[in-house]
Structure 1
Amino acid sequence: MSTINNQPLNKLSIFSLKGVQMRTFHITWLTFFFCFFAWFGIAPLMPLVSEQLHLTKAQKGNIAIASVSATIIARLLVGRLCDIWGPRKTYTLLLILCSIPVMLIGLSQSYTSFLIFRLAIGVIGASFVLTQFHTSVMFAPQIKGTANAVAGGWGNTGGGATQIIMPLIAAAFVGLGWVSKENSWRLAMVIPGILLLVMAFLYFRYTKDTPQGNFDEIERNTGKKENTFLVAAKDYRTWILTIAYAACFGVEITVDNFAATYFHDEYSASLIMAGLLASIFGWLNIFARAVGGIISDKVGNRFGFNGKVNLLTILLLLEGIGIILFAKAGNLGVAIALLFFFGLCLKMANGATYSIVPFINPNAVGSVAGIVGAGGNVGAMLIGFLFKSMNYADAFFYLGTGVFVVGVIILVYRLVSKQEEKTEATAVLQAAK
């Protein structure tokens, strides 16, 4: 049973639109879906872009790196703005600004101009921090992880949907005779840009910053007005989660960028088929991230903060093993099965990570979310250099090895930090039972 209407809910009723909490939840995940859709809308169309702009492998690597680089700074900034302005105004502004490069990337006539547009589009990745902040303030402690994971997971399916839908949109424009096949990617990218503007209107009109109202409508307990970014940055647990998120979400957006091209080049799949195969990874977000958050909440309610960290460690170790095997598959059917396996572990790790984030420091949730979220993109940027410098099969192998090592590092951290059993985070979880 939920609390009164202007308080955080202690139950996630996913089929309900009743109350500002559930209305905000649904608008938030749907907005994040279209942000992800726009962010990676060009990825399945890259074979067309590459052919027309005569891109080299190194240039394509630079483009992939650019697509995640701007997000790093954007997430740090947006996390801080969430704590100051509130998610409603911040999200609306982000959507409007990012719709511009999404719609205009089709004007690119060279590698340089395309790279600049791709860099600018990457700012939309900061939407994740807003999504996690907004669901954190709308729900009670015992289900924050579940709410965050479901919203993040459903939103992330935009990365899978775009792998299927964008090639079909481009093909539809060609079929209608509006544009040639070579130029179809240019017109196709206008669609996700328009969708961002639609969501900007809906977000500003129908959401609230908190269950009590918007930041400028309510009295907020800001204490001594500490710099929440510094508060978050001084807590070493923030950085442990940042490394973990680099090893799961950083890998996720790398796969979103390279999977279609990998299947196209390595297994000779057609453009549409390669996009379809790559979308399997994205569609796992429908349930996998949510499952990670739900299990993490249950483990946390029983075993406290350390239980959540233990679960995250196991998922990262399994993810690393799965990627290593995927790189050595050598057979399309086996590769698809392993993509499913490591994708499942990876997305559950995403959910488990952000199940922990709200408990690091309740007074700096936006900044913690921003730093950890930026870590995912730092990971993706570094992985981009890996894929740029070697063939994709070898890159996946070394990537899996790196993820496994991160899992081991967090395991070692856990073994030497048993004192965390009495942390404020565990106390909050126990009090919420």
Structure 2
Amino acid sequence: MTRRTRWPVKRFVFGTVFAHLAMGTACDLVGPRVASAAIILLTTPAVCCSAIMNSASAFLLARFFKGISLASFVSTQFWMSSMFSSNKVGLANGYAGGWGNLGGGAVQLLMPLVYEAILKLRSTPFTAWRLAFFIPAVMQSCSAIAVLAFGQDMPDGNYWKLHKYGEMQKASVGGVLRHGVGNYRAWILALLSYCFGVELTINNIVAQYFFDLFDVNLRTAGLIAASFGMVNLFSRPIGGSLSDGLSARFGMRGRLWGLWAVQTVEGILCIVLGLVHGSFAASVAVMILFSLFVQAAEGLTFGVVPFVSRRSLGLVNGMTGGGGSVGAVLTQLIFFHGSKYKTETGIMYMGVMIIACTLPTALIYFPQWGGMLAGPRPRATAEEYYNREWTQEERATRGSTRPACGSRRTACARSAGGWRRASSP
């Protein structure tokens, strides 16, 4: 694939933005179990078709549908927020999201090995790379079946059962959209998820960057690129755990300050990465350190997301994840498409943009918990904050307000009149 061919591929990332929003809404309506399995099964044929494509148009179409499968990230984060209590939700989201994104690094290591293994079975190179695509397609199908067979939407049970027995009121699309899109905190978090866009951008450019700048072979460049994704194994859980730890000591204000600090350092390291382009060793070292802060910032972001909304938790997750896809496209368009900037200069400017996009963290404010620059409002409660998402009639209906972290037996307990006790941030 040439540089000229790559840009149309980037434009298809916009399809994933819609997929993220649709997946978030689907989680709010039918639950993460069905939504997750559906998108995995619907996009599996695109992986299979990658083995038989014979034109640029077919490649772009397959890439488009494979990109949509990335929206399963939204259902994963929603699921963790529904299953774990508020004091561990950051760590849970960090592990689930980090180990999921780990596939981005693992695939760069494993797919060449699969290809070489098929070659050893006396296959031709033309056939071997095509057959290799059937391996992830089979694994994708198996994961969808496992989700349906063994998954459960909430600690209390699956959505269909809770709806059937009146334990949960069916959500409406209008209500989900109104309280998700209408919450300014969701938009700020979508902007903050620019760090996700940085991850996608680096994954796209880093192998070519080291190959062109330092004249390393393709295998070495691929290993360096894979290391950026492999740190997801521990860095995003560290970010989530840090968010929970800061919350235990400083409440929501600690979560927000931690997010701002880590993502700002991420931007500084990105600038440094562009400045040390004259040294191979320094570039690799700074890139790995930069990667640690990128993934940790993502973990910290999803330590805040579960507290923004209860009724529209899925949509808020989708907006946050979709913001990363938009960031990836815009970043590559502004700094890395064409010859306007050298790659190292684009990386440096990308760091400046990270720092700028992190500043609005100071505007996130919860009346019951406060924000970075101000404490909580007197007599404000989480019960009042979340109950505003339901009408008086809905609050009077038993089970109309479900928790977004843990079951009705946790601190996010549900009652017929709304939120009985507020979950701590």
Q: Per the alignment, do residues 114 and 394 of structure 1 end up closer, same or farther by CA in structure 2, a change over 3 Å counting?
A: farther
Paired position in structure 1 for 2:330: 382
Paired position in structure 2 for 1:106: 51
Which sits farther off after the overlay, 328-337 or 219-228?
Answer: 219-228
Residue from 231, 242, 245 that aligns with 1:284: 231
Paired position in structure 2 for 1:222: 169
- Structure 1, residues 86-140: CA drift from partner, whole Å, max 9, x if none? 1111111111111111121232323222122111110011011000011111111
Pairing 1:359-370 to 2, within 5 Å after superposition: 359-370=307-318
Q: Deviation at 1:309?
A: 1.2
Aligned partner letter, 1:60 = R
Separation (CA, whole Å) in 1 of partners of 2:68 and 2:143: 16
Pairing 1:109-258 to 2, within 5 Å after superposition: 109-180=54-125, 184-218=128-162, 219-222=166-169, 225=172, 227-246=175-194, 248-258=195-205
Q: Which is helix-richer, 1 or 2?
A: 1
Q: Deviation at 1:412?
A: 6.8
Separation (CA, whole Å) in 2 of partners of 1:343 and 1:425: 35
Matched residue count: 376
Q: Residue 319 of structure 1 contacts residue 400 of structure 1 at CA under 8 Å; is this kept in 2?
A: yes
- Structure 1, residues 40-91: CA drift from partner, whole Å, max 9, x if none? xxxxxxxxxx2xxxx2x2321332342x322100010010000111111111
Q: Residue 264 of structure 1 contacts residue 274 of structure 1 at CA under 8 Å; is this kept in 2?
A: yes
Paired position in structure 2 for 1:392: 343
Residue from 333, 338, 348 that aligns with 2:286: 338
Q: Residue 253 of structure 2 contacts residue 371 of structure 2 at CA under 8 Å; is this kept in 1?
A: no
Residue from 266, 269, 272 that aligns with 1:319: 266
Q: Deviation at 1:174?
A: 2.5
Q: Residue 86 of structure 2 contacts residue 423 of structure 2 at CA under 8 Å; is this kept in 1?
A: no
Separation (CA, whole Å) in 2 of partners of 1:424 and 1:369: 23
Paired position in structure 2 for 1:76: 21
Q: Residue 362 of structure 2 contacts residue 372 of structure 2 at CA under 8 Å; is this kept in 1?
A: no
Kindly, what percent of the aligned residue pairs are identical? 32
TM-score by length of 2: 0.82
TM-score by length of 1: 0.81
Matched residue of 2:54: which SS? coil
Separation (CA, whole Å) in 1 of partners of 2:375 and 2:319: 21
Paired position in structure 2 for 1:293: 240
Q: Per the alignment, do residues 86 and 431 of structure 1 end up closer, same or farther by CA in structure 2, a change over 3 Å counting?
A: closer
- Structure 1, residues 232-290: CA drift from partner, whole Å, max 9, x if none? 111111111110012x1111122222222222222222222222111111111111101
Q: Residue 242 of structure 1 contacts residue 371 of structure 1 at CA under 8 Å; is this kept in 2?
A: yes
Separation (CA, whole Å) in 2 of partners of 1:273 and 1:239: 39
Q: Per the alignment, do residues 213 and 263 of structure 1 end up closer, same or farther by CA in structure 2, a change over 3 Å counting?
A: same
Aligned partner letter, 1:278 = A
Q: Does 1:421 align with 2:376?
A: yes
Paired position in structure 1 for 2:8: 62
User: Please, which runs of 5 or more residues in structure 2 have no aligned partner?
Assistant: 386-410, 413-421
Quote the RMSD (CA, aligned, Å). Answer: 2.4
Paired position in structure 2 for 1:274: 221
Q: Per the alignment, do residues 196 and 283 of structure 1 end up closer, same or farther by CA in structure 2, a change over 3 Å counting?
A: same
Q: Deviation at 1:184?
A: 4.2
Aligned partner letter, 1:149 = G
Q: Residue 160 of structure 1 contacts residue 282 of structure 1 at CA under 8 Å; is this kept in 2?
A: yes
Matched residue of 1:216: which SS? helix
Separation (CA, whole Å) in 1 of partners of 2:323 and 2:135: 30
User: Please, which runs of 5 or more residues in structure 1 have no aligned partner?
Assistant: 1-49
Q: Deviation at 1:321?
A: 1.1
Aligned partner letter, 1:352 = L
Q: Which has the larger radius of gyration?
A: 2
Q: Per the alignment, do residues 425 and 61 of structure 1 end up closer, same or farther by CA in structure 2, a change over 3 Å counting?
A: farther
